[in-house]
Structure 1
Amino acid sequence: MTTLVAVEARPRLRDVLAVGRPAFWIVSVVPYYVGILLATHRLVPPVELWPRLLVGAVVMGPLLWLAVLAINDAYDLPGDLLNPRKSASPLLDGRVSVRQAKQLAVGAGVAALLVACFVGWVFTAGVLLALVLGWAYSVPPVRLKTRAGFDVASNSLALGAFGPLAGWAAVTPELGGFPWVMALQGTLAAIGLYLPTTLADLPADRAAGYRTIAVRLGASTTYRLGYAAWIAAATLSVLLAALDMVIPRSMLALEIVMVPVLVAAYGRLIGPGQTFRQVITLATLFLIPCAAFALTYTGVL
């Protein structure tokens, strides 16, 4: 008697990329660049740093995202089946199996650590912490995603604080001169941008039994928390410019103009029935004062 053993087909490259979500890479690469800018005081870093910084960008973009998103997709599959926003996921129609997603996560995580070694030991230590946090967010029994508050903290700190710190560490292992107040502002802005994503997923998360912060607190309270964090981040930027602390005082007039615009945009774009497109629009508006900061901080303007 012959026994037939089913063999899984290897995932196609386009399906692996779909799991890694290339559109997300900029979300960590931009804060990474901000850290480089803070460390070098230059819009374009010195040429001799380019190889190391580009290697760091590969880690911060494709490798880290694939490592944390693949493991998240593997453990979120039951909930993703209920979420229309995830309908294009390769795991939903079997193009990538749960086992393969876990293998991709392990492979990308190991690759991220190995490649990070070419940047520096402080950078590598940060990448290890980011991987641990990313896995803790998704993998039981810790699964921070289902622990209201920890879901927000893990994502916001990873993007708002770790990104700039990684960029700084890619330039120098000495963290003593890092402007920690910028990590605070980045984290507040990240909270303001992350909480709306929990609102977009609220129906699916509630149906799946995931106790995210939006499920635990409700849409109204979650919205108000996000709005408060957004206002705090915008207000802090005005204060820093007024004090000429990191943000040059020459930016004060622009900050005074942009803060009401950003606050009003949040109120108009974020709320019941919002889509991820509206969150992206808000994040794009935030890049305007960020670009002005880059130009003034480096002395271009």
Structure 2
Amino acid sequence: MTNQTFNRLINNEIFTRLTWLRFIGFEFWMVGFTPFFIGYVVSAKELYSFDLFFGFLIIAILTSSTFILNHICDIELDKKNPRKEFSLLVRGTISLKTSWILFWILQLSCIILSFRFNLEFLYCILGLTVISFVYNMEPFRFKSRPGLDLLSNGLSLGLLIPLAAWSIDQPLIEFPKLFFLSTICYLLALYCPTMAIDVEFDKSFGVETFATKFGAEFTMKLSWFFTICGVFILLLSGYLEIYPWNFDLLIWTGWLLIIEIFVHYIYLPISPNPTYNMVAKGSIILATFEAVATLIFLIIFLS
């Protein structure tokens, strides 16, 4: 029963009237919120504030604008992809012109709102905007260039978003680089399976990605490797007491990192033919475990 409910949820069969939320990437807001939250807490040393929630608003708007740009640039491919039937463009619910207007409204809004903070924060948001353009649009289209697709996601989600959050209260020069290198690893670990499930579809339409070049199985192995790297970096940071880690945090939360490797291996197994349902369910389980472990770490860190 649980699997049936989950399958109906990810196939847009439960909240059919909320398709517009999927169109603006609502379910992926948390992907941006998590590294922003971590960056803010280790910088400001508080779990919540108005600045944090205002930052969440900016990240949500930026994420939505990126998703709309993705729909616009991929419209012809999405029409052939049954998993993209929720797209309002594919359905003909809104026009291409309306989509462009919505994109620019959201894009300019997040830039204007960024002026509430400092120039360093604004530069990070502008950097994220540039990556969004070169990732989706010709003649760059990094999402179709093996290696650059991974680099774009690592730099945006793992570096610039937490860097923006950090800059609200601390100078960029003091940014804990090793700690957020692990964040890049974790986010890439979650990104790789999303490429692996599209290998056959992408190959059939001549779309080149990291996964089509190196194969779905290797991409799933790389995903697990990124998780192992992230765990190793954090354990090393705890042992060497590199900020924000210390030895007490290592004792209290290090065991969660070891379990995380096995959670990944069980729920996102290395497979030559990963299915959408398997990756969607496994990613949610792994991301939830990581979110809980991170929250425990931050609470102990603040105490």
TM-score (structure 2 length as normaliser):
0.87
CA apart distance, 1:139: 0.5
What CA distance in whole angstroms lies between the structure 2 residues aligned with 1:167 and 1:126? 9
What CA distance in whole angstroms lies between the structure 2 residues aligned with 1:287 and 1:94? 37
What CA distance in whole angstroms lies between the structure 2 residues aligned with 1:203 and 1:156? 24
CA apart distance, 1:44: 3.5
- Bigger drift between 249-258 and 217-226 goes to 249-258
8 Å CA contact 2:118–2:168 kept in 1: the answer is yes
Instruction: Show CA shifts across 1:228-253 (max 9, x none).
Output: 11100011111111122222312323
8 Å CA contact 2:40–2:166 kept in 1: the answer is yes
Matches for 1:1-301 after TM superposition, within 5 Å: 16-45=20-49, 50=50, 52-61=51-60, 63-172=61-170, 174-245=171-242, 246-270=244-268, 271=271, 272-273=274-275, 274-299=278-303
8 Å CA contact 1:59–1:115 kept in 2: the answer is yes
CA apart distance, 1:130: 0.4
- Bigger drift between 31-40 and 78-87 goes to 78-87
8 Å CA contact 2:23–2:86 kept in 1: the answer is no
CA apart distance, 1:259: 2.9
- Bigger drift between 67-76 and 79-88 goes to 79-88
CA apart distance, 1:164: 1.2
8 Å CA contact 1:32–1:57 kept in 2: the answer is yes
AA aligned opposite 2:159:
A
TM-score (structure 1 length as normaliser):
0.87
Q: Which runs of 5+ in 1 are unaligned?
A: 1-12
Aligned to 2:5: none
What CA distance in whole angstroms lies between the structure 1 residues aligned with 2:39 and 2:254? 24
Instruction: Show CA shifts across 1:96-122 (max 9, x none).
Output: 222322222222111111111112211
- Bigger drift between 265-274 and 155-164 goes to 265-274
AA aligned opposite 1:199:
A
Corresponding pairs, count:
280
Q: Secondary structure at the match of 2:138?
A: coil
CA apart distance, 1:268: 1.6
CA apart distance, 1:150: 0.6
AA aligned opposite 1:98:
L
Instruction: Show CA shifts across 1:267-295 (max 9, x none).
Output: 12224223312211111111132112101
Instruction: Show CA shifts across 1:149-208 (max 9, x none).
Output: 111111122111122111111234x21221111221110111111001111222222222
Q: Secondary structure at the match of 2:89?
A: coil
CA apart distance, 1:256: 4.1
- Bigger drift between 186-195 and 18-27 goes to 18-27
AA aligned opposite 1:164:
P
